[in-house]
Structure 1
Amino acid sequence: MPLFQYKGRNQRGEAVRGHLEAVSPDAVAAQLMNSGVIPIDIGVAQVREDVFAGLKARLAASTRITLTDLSLFSRQMYTLIKAGVPIMQALRGLRDSTQNPALAKVIISVGESLDTGLDLTSALRRHPQVFSPLYVNMVQVGETTGSLQEVFLQLAIYLEREKDTRDRIKSATRYPMFVVAAIFIAIFIINLFVIPTFAKVYAGFKIELPMATQILIASSNFTVAYWPVILMTIITAVFALRYYVRTPEGRYRWHKMKLDIPVVGKVIYKATLGRFARALAVMMKSGVPLVQGMTVISRAVDNDYISDRIVQMRDGVERGETIARTAAATGMFPSLVIQMIAVGEDTGSVDELMFNVAEYYEREVDYDITNLSTALQPILIVFLSIMVFILALGVFLPMWDLAQVARKG
């Protein structure tokens, strides 16, 4: 459809302008009138070929909007709304002050949507790649109840904690992943360059090699002869795995498998449950109905396996069961947490108890992350020791045999 540019005035008499896609100028006028904007001028948008502008737009589109950007945006919106600044003026100020061009573009689009008469919730919902269902639903509740500033504050706190948890997990797992990758690269290089040199030396002695050495030499010969095939197989397997993980079945299996990884899986599981508990507490405190809140969080929890368990809890609550009973049926929470939830239901303070559950898991995650490197080091040392032992056995056993023969001679 062609792109039209328009000028008009909204219900407050303010001048507005923007762009809309439609089949004709009449369709643009009808769309503007339905949104409360009186059109003054409508024309086909002139698209100019500007290499620099196109490059700048591509760079802006490729810039990622991080959790830090969203938490800062939420906290600034809270501060400006609390100070009595109108939303349109607040968005203009944030658009000019943000350092992320992609976020600035989104803010401009949100402002244009508000100019056409949409509410803030509908404007944010047009950018699902930036604002999650959790974010949009909480803003909707804030607009409905008149507590938008408190909602933005809760969102800022939630996003900051989410960012901190993810960064701590990445930091704790970065070193073990680097060590494992370095070990496999070293093995590949040894097979490709080091063992062939020893094999030539042993071939000149014309002696029977130990089984361990024969296996190493056979592995090295295979690597030298077929290393392009091996490399292409690895690359193909990586891309095939990434494609499979993006399918619904593959994504579910991968998310479930992540939780079963020794040592690390336990940390990921607790961190995900902590995010679920805090998100649910924030939504309930903001006035979102329990069933709706669970539905939104099940889509935004970023783990399909746990998402299924949350849906089970939601279905149980819809049938009239208590949260504690549905939580126990999923097997997600320990008995201590279930007891806390039951007390919250009895006292009418489920949101506060869910905050306590979130803090419980966050403390557990902090402790586990602090000790994660210590727990992984013995596993890495044992793995590395086995690899070194196998290589040393295969390389030095023939030398030992030669030394024994020389002594007898």
Structure 2
Amino acid sequence: MKMFIYKAYDKAGAKIDGQIEAESHAVALSQLKNQGLLPSELKEYKESTGNFFGSSKKVSLAELEFLTAELSLLLSSGVRIDKGLDIIRRSKAQPALVRLLTSVSSGISKGQSLSQAMSEHNEVFDPLYINLVELGEASGQLPEIFAKLAEDLKFKRDLQRKIISSLTYPFIILAVCLLCIVFIFNFIVPKLSVIFSDPESLPWYTQALLGLSDWMQSYQILLGCGFLGAVFLGKQLFTQPKFVKGWQQFLLKIPGLASAVLTTERIRFNSALAMMLDAGLAIDKALDLAKGNIKNQVLQREMEIVRNKVKHGHSLSPSLKQTSLYPDFYISLLEVGEESGNLAKVFDEIAKRSRQEFETWTEKMTTLIEPLLILLMGGIVGGVVVVMLMSMVAVNDVGF
């Protein structure tokens, strides 16, 4: 079956757009007409093989949040799960999400439970998601489970957006700085060099500037290819487990950056734990699933040790104290939560406090990096201008 994207008008003249599955263009056109629609545009959806940074076939985090939130709303309104999936599929969902929903609906129609149908798409639904859905099916609380999952996914999107936004401006400044360097040494310096009739009599700093300009003009294509090659090599290296593990260990040793990594992982781990404990999962099972939310393999291994200790009867707070993820202050909160039997609330509080810490850290780093990069760019541009002015003054002095 092929996927077609259409724009059409209904009998009242209102615009409608969406997706439809059919064997051919003619069959899709016939189906739309049978639905009482007048198509104005109908084209087959072509899945791209993905760009340099990733595949466009995957369901994005935003689409997964949309699906989860919509399922929570529909189920709360009394709509059956198969009908709810069909409603979302026929809405303005992206083609990748439509294919996912079609596959899940097909699994349900064959007698599978929702969690079983979703488990066949582990590239979209992680074990935490699947287990909570299974728990919701068993307890009859699927709407509440989907609401909590949607809230967790929204939090992940917010965290992702904050990380990207904190890096965007420094990268823009760095890119402008590099473009200024290329422009200066390709256009400004060569035009000014014609005023120097005898390069050998010029000061050393002028000769160095002209030599650097000539070198860049001669090898800038190779430099560009080398840069693209380095980016491609870096992308390939990050697909190698050994390199990723070594890189993650290195990040935990960098002062300043290590605290940001720990805070980010603490947010992911505690938000997942709070949600699962609130849903009624046992602590050892919750630890096992929340461990999958941690991206850093070093910290993930530490949490695996904690899970094994708790499973064999050790207390939670002393076990977590031996990890890198929890400072003493948070351990004291956990001890109170463990004594009162209110761990879910404590983990949620830790996630909120860690979120505030991360926001403070990003503000500080952005405030620090921005002026440094601006000074770097101004220093390079200003340095070239000063060298050229000093060179012209030196030439005039020699001529006089």
**TM-score, with length taken from structure 2:** 0.80
Q: Is the 8 A contact 1:133 1:300 kept in 2?
A: no
Match runs of 1:40-79 below 5 Å: 55-58=44-47, 62=56, 64-79=58-73
Relative to structure 1, the CA distance from residue 305 to residue 52 in structure 2 (aligned partners, 3 Å threshold; closer, same or farther) is farther
> Against the structure 1 CA distance between its residues 405 and 364, is the aligned structure 2 distance closer, same or farther, given a 3 Å change threshold?
same
Q: How does 1:4-403 map to 2 (within 5 A)?
A: 55-58=44-47, 62=56, 64-204=58-198, 206-210=200-204, 212-257=205-250, 266-403=259-396
Q: CA deviation at 1:365?
A: 2.4
Q: Distance in 2 between matches of 1:266 and 1:181?
A: 27
Question: What's the CA shift for 1:270?
Answer: 2.0
Distance 1:395 1:131, change over 3 A: same
- Name the CA distance, whole Å, in 1 between partners of 2:278 and 2:129: 14
CA change 1:295–1:362 in 2 (3 A) is same
With over 3 angstroms needed to count, the CA separation of the structure-2 counterparts of 1:168 and 1:261, relative to structure 1, is farther
CA contact (8 A) 1:65 1:130 kept: yes
Residue aligned with 1:97, SS = coil
Same amino acid, percent of matched pairs: 24
Describe the shift of the 1:338–1:55 C-alpha distance in structure 2 as closer, same or farther (beyond 3 A): same
Give 1:113 shift: 0.4
Shift of 1:80: 2.2
Inter-partner Cα distance in structure 2 for 1:352 and 1:369: 26
AA partner of residue 341 (structure 2): G
In 2: Cα distance, 1:171 partner to 1:262 partner:
22
How far the C-alpha of 1:156 sits from its partner, in A, is 0.9
CA contact (8 A) 1:327 1:338 kept: yes
What root-mean-square deviation, in Å, do the aligned CA atoms of Structure 1 and Structure 2 show?
A: 3.0
Find the counterpart in structure 2 of residue 19 from structure 1: none
Cα contact 2:128–2:289 (8 A) shared by 1: yes
2:153 alignment partner, SS class: helix
Corresponding residue pairs, total: 361
> Is the alpha carbon distance of 1:370 and 1:142 closer, same or farther for their aligned partners in structure 2, counting shifts above 3 Å?
same
Report SS of the residue matched to 2:198.
Answer: helix
Deviation larger for 306-315 or 323-332: 306-315
Q: 1:82 to 1:324 in 2, by over 3 A?
A: same
Native 8 Å contact 2:262 2:325 kept in 1 = no
Amino acid at match of 2:211: A
- Contact 2:202 2:395 survives alignment (8 Å): no
In 2 relative to 1, CA 224–57 (structure 1 residues): closer, same or farther, beyond 3 Å? closer
- What is the CA distance between 1:128 and its match in structure 2? 1.5
Shift of 1:121: 1.0
Unpaired stretches in structure 1, ≥5 consecutive residues: 4-46
Q: Which moved more, 1:170-179 or 1:194-203?
A: 194-203
Change (3 A) 1:261 1:402: farther
Once the two structures are TM-superposed, the CA of residue 354 in structure 1 deviates from its matched residue by 0.3
